[in-house]
Amino acid sequence: MRILQIAPIWESVPPPAYGGTEAVVSVLTEELVRMGHEVVLAASGDSTTSAELVSVYPRSLRTADDLKDRSPYDWAHVGNAMSLARDVDIVHNHAGEIVMAMAGACRTPMLTTMHCLATPDTEFVWNRYAGAYNTISKAQINALPNLIGPAKFAGHVYNAIDVDTFPFESTPGDDLLFLSRIAPEKGPIEAIEVAKRTGRRLIMAGKVDNYDRAFYEAEVKHLIDGDQIVFVGEADAAMKRDLYKNAHSLIMPLKWEEPFGLVMPEAMVCGTPVIALRRGSAPELIDHGRTGFVVDTVDEMVEAVSQAGAIDRATCRAHVERHFSPQIMAQNYLRVYERLLERPARTMFAPVPVPVRQRISEEAGAVA
């Protein structure tokens, strides 16, 4: 099968540090190539892949601080990628609504993976998009019950991590770990509270985006003392693996419906249990009581920390190998591709809005 993978151009594939979508695209692309498929990856020019790489700009746009306006480069990236659609069997879109808006340029079947939550402002595009889409967890549908238009739900396919590149540590460390963007919805203040109430040191790692800078400066920075609460900045691939394997547990006080938190399987595959609030995909990713704990309050998080030391770390790794491996994700996507190829060719973008609301249940063709 010849497959076009369209990644966002804002981060390289794979990303050097933060970049969940790009990490998933890399794992999927490499596994499809390993399985013998012909894959074209549209991504930034500094990406690394065994697939055929096509790009319009040599760097990820996040690193292009010298550009006054980066949007035209994004548009050119998508336009160039779509020009290749006629020469492939399947277009797999990971770059969101901008690709969906240009889907009418081809009749090749398109699958859009919903890596983020849709917003009311994007309904205009969803109204007209006639291709297929999948979610990355069951919970993501619960947060998006009223998608409008002819978009076809292809089920949910869990993300995967490159299991073999993550080390395993059988002996737990003493420190708690918070590894995430430093943003209100990620719960850094609550993670600090858990650390102070348990008396454990908290290692915080993550980037501070420009739009979260004011929150960090006003609400978080003064809580970082460099002793019990330690902020190490954004962790690259090597650092985060070291942090995961040496942690007592990963703390995730989620305050939003996270579609899929890659840090959860990443921590568990290193043997580190995850303690998360019951939001988004957390109950799907964590085997409660066996690979971590899914709780409802900060008080319960504090209690769970005292129990996490009894978690069998080998069970954590086996759980990830069984559910979130590259092989499983690629096989599930191939099943979706094959179903789409059975449909008649058609334009992927409808010329007029379709005023029909469809409520999608978990049973509507879930893949995994």
Tell me which of 244 and 349 has the higher pLDDT.
Answer: 244
Place of tokens 């969906």: 100
Cβ neighbors of 276 (< 8 A, separation 6 or more) are: 251, 252, 253, 254, 261, 264, 282, 286, 292, 293, 294, 295
Structure confidence at residue 9 (pLDDT): 96
> Measured in Å, how far apart are the chain's first and last C-alpha atoms?
22
Tokens of 256: 């939003």
Residue span(s) of the chain under CATH 3.40.50.2000 come to 2-160+327-341, 163-323
Pick the closest to residue 296 from 308, 309, 279 (CA basis).
279
Q: Which of 6-10, 127-131, 319-323 is predicted least confidently?
A: 127-131
Q: Strand order of the sheet with strand 249-252? A: 229-231, 202-205, 176-179, 249-252, 274-277, 292-295
* Architecture category of domain 163-323 in CATH: 3-Layer(aba) Sandwich (3.40)
Q: Can you name the residues that pair with 275 across neighbouring β-strands? A: 251, 293
Rounded Cα gap, residues 241 and 225, in angstroms: 24
Domain topology for 2-160+327-341: Rossmann fold (3.40.50)
pLDDT over 90 (residue 215): yes
Q: Which of 104-108, 166-170, 346-350 is predicted least confidently?
A: 346-350
